[in-house]
């Protein structure tokens, strides 16, 4: 048996990349690799990249530049780039950084073992195809090692929406949903290994339409199937599109006890003019009516959103419409960004808003979101919520976990252990977390 080799993976971006990195590590585990927390002693460095943020490709090239010294000192060190930047840049990565040994797109990483073998033979390996085979079926089964109490589980990939600002349809491809039986098998395996909460992932997760025993299943039907797994206590999903919040999914939020009262539902803008230019296919009014229906089903649900400020041609009036929508909805949290161009997307060719206006608008929007977040957190004080403990805290006898509403909660409870799901009385609201005591 060959000697164990060390694998260092750096993950950028969304939860789906976190899941993908786990599966990449498992795929390379069959080649004799085990993970290390430092690139300094690695036999392979793998950057799992994201193309969503500003200047994503340049940041990857900068990161690669930091590894030149390691590569020079150890020529046998293999360096790979995976994920969405790999898909978008392809051969350009190897041209600009010849020290890179392999480049693999997010739909092809099940081929990593054979690609790694080619690099060991002195070849370069590039695969940015959209293969017909199901990568999840080609991957080795997950190892049976114990897991922490929470896990991500990808159920859907790709997007057919073609928002004018987004590269996902080009880097992740068209919408594809995994068959329900394979998801349920993976979920049961996770629960057997200690997982009590599963977050279902997809670029457009509520468009899920995977094959089931009696035809395609909706996300709500999949959630109800997961609800029947003994030992699985919590179900979440992200990220959703307003146009795919179906009636049965809204109903599930009100009737499925394991589906947590938290929903990330991006709107991006409150201006109908900008929404149309974004190709979002919904209006501010239709989004607000949808929120009303969701809250009617689950009145205590905590909502999160995404916002882009400074989208091409956005005026101050357009931005104020976004602020008005935020005031109406009252978000518990949100992700907000200044618009930045993505080459190849329609919005990249349009008249751009000046940087100072973008910065000013972002600061104002974030200040409003922060006030709303803090007000909702403060309102939690005195309430009893269930907390799933994920790790010890910094103080002796302290545990840290997540509430039903995805708040981070610090609890002084010397008896609690990782994986416990216990009622907690909230006694204090902090900047980004809550503090509680055993109820």
CATH of 384-438, one of 1.20.810.10, 2.60.40.1120, 3.30.1330.60, 2.40.50.140: 2.40.50.140
**How confident is the model at residue 207, as a pLDDT?**
96
Read off the pLDDT of residues 359-375 as tens digits, 9 standing for 90 and up. 999 999 999 999 999 99
166 is in an annotated binding site: yes
What does the pLDDT average to over 48-57? Answer: 75
Is residue 143 scored above 90 in pLDDT? no
Question: Taking 50 as the threshold, does the pLDDT of residue 1 lie above it?
Answer: no
The sign of the torsion formed by the CA atoms of 208, 213, 215, 221 equals negative
**Residue 2 confidence class, pLDDT cut points 50, 70, 90:** low
Measured torsion, CA atoms of residues 292, 295, 299, 300, in degrees rounded to the nearest 10? -120
Superfamily classification of domain 135-308: tm_1862 like domain (3.80.30.20)
pLDDT confidence tier of residue 167, bands split at 50, 70 and 90: confident
Mean pLDDT, to the nearest integer, of 317-337? 97
322, 306, 309: which is closest to 360 by C-alpha?
309
Give percent above pLDDT 90 in the chain.
76
**CA–CA separation, 170 and 273 (whole Å):** 25
163 is in an annotated binding site: yes
pLDDT above 70 covers a percentage of the chain that reads 95
DSSP string, 105-161: -TT-GGGHHHHHHHHHTT--EEE----SS-HHHHSPPPP-----SEEEEE-EE--S-
Q: DSSP character for 66?
A: H
Find where tokens 């055993």 sit. 438
* pLDDT reading at 145 higher than 80: no
Query: Greater confidence, 215 or 344?
Result: 215
What pLDDT does 154 receive?
Answer: 93
- Residue 412 pairs in a beta bridge with 398
416: pLDDT strictly greater than 60: yes
| Rounded mean pLDDT, 58-82 | 91
256 labeled part of a ligand binding site? no
CB 149 within 8 A of CB 64: no
Residues in the chain: 439
The per-residue pLDDT of the chain, averaged, comes to: 92
Q: 205-209 long-range CB contacts below 8 Å, 24 or more apart?
A: 205/155, 205/156, 205/237, 205/238, 205/239, 205/240, 206/237, 206/240, 206/241, 206/244, 206/245, 206/246, 206/249, 207/156, 207/160, 207/175, 207/177, 207/241, 207/244, 208/155, 208/156, 208/177, 209/177
Q: For 219-259, how does the pLDDT look when each residue is reduced to its tens digit (9 = 90+)?
A: 999 999 999 999 999 999 999 999 999 999 999 999 999 99
Q: How do beta strands 5-11 and 33-35 pair? A: parallel
Distances (CA, A) of 68 to 73, 75, 145, 227, 303: 9, 10, 34, 49, 44
Residue 164 pLDDT greater than 60, yes or no: yes
Token pair in block for residue 421: 């799901």
Over residues 133-150, the mean pLDDT reads 69
**pLDDT at residue 96 tops 80:** yes
**What mean pLDDT comes out for the span 129-141?**
63
Residue range 5-127, CATH number: 3.40.50.12160
- This prediction has a pTM of 0.82
Q: What is the sign, positive or negative, of the torsion defined by CA atoms of 274, 329, 297, 240? A: positive
* Band of pLDDT at residue 215, cut at 50, 70 and 90: very high
pLDDT given for residue 131 in this prediction: 63
Domain ranges in the chain are 5-127, 135-308, 384-438
- DSSP annotation of 332: S
Q: What are the backbone angles phi and psi of residue 412, rounded to the nearest 5°?
A: -85, 100
């Amino acid at each position: 048996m060959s000697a164990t080799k060390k694998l260092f993976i750096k993950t950028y971006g969304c939860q789906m990349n976190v899941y993908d990195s786990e599966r990449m590590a498992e795929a390379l585990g069959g080649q004799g690799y085990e993970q290390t927390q430092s690139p300094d002693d690695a036999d392979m460095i793998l950057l799992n990249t994201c193309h969503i943020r500003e200047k994503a490709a340049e940041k990857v090239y900068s990161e690669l530049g930091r590894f030149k010294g390691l590569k020079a000192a150890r020529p046998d060190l293999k360096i790979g780039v995976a994920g969405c930047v790999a898909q978008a840049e392809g051969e350009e990565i190897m041209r600009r950084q010849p020290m890179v040994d392999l480049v693999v797109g997010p739909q092809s990483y099940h081929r990593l073992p054979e690609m790694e073998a080619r690099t060991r033979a002195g070849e370069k390996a590039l695969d940015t195809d959209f293969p017909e085979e199901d990568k999840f079926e080609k991957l080795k089964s997950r190892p049976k090692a114990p897991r922490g109490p929470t896990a991500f589980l990808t159920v859907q990939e790709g997007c057919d929406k073609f928002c004018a600002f987004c590269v996902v349809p080009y880097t992740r491809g068209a919408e594809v949903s995994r068959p329900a039986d394979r998801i349920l098998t993976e979920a049961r395996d996770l629960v057997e290994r200690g997982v009590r909460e599963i977050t279902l992932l997809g670029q457009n997760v509520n468009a899920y339409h995977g094959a089931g025993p009696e035809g395609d299943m909706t996300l709500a039907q999949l959630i109800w199937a997961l609800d029947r797994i003994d030992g699985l206590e919590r179900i979440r999903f992200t990220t959703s599109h307003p146009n795919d919040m179906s009636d049965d999914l809204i109903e599930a939020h009100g009737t499925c006890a394991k589906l947590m009262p938290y929903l990330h539902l991006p709107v991006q803008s409150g201006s109908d003019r900008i929404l149309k230019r974004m190709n979002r296919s919904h209006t501010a009014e239709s989004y607000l009516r949808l929120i009303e229906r969701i809250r009617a089903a689950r009145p205590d649900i905590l909502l999160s959103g995404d916002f882009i400020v400074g989208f091409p041609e956005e005026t101050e009036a357009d931005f104020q419409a976004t602020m008005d929508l935020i005031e109406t909805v009252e978000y518990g949290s949100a992700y907000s960004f200044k618009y930045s161009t993505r080459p190849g997307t329609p919005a990249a060719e349009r008249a751009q808003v000046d940087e100072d206006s973008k910065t000013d608008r972002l600061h104002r929007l974030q200040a409003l979101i922060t006030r709303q977040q803090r007000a909702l957190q403060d309102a939690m004080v005195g309430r009893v919520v269930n907390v799933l403990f994920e790790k010890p805290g910094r103080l002796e006898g302290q545990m840290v976990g997540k509430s039903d509403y995805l708040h981070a909660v610090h609890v002084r409870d010397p008896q609690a252990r990782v994986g416990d799901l216990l009622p907690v009385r909230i006694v204090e609201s902090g900047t980004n977390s809550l503090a509680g005591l055993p109820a």
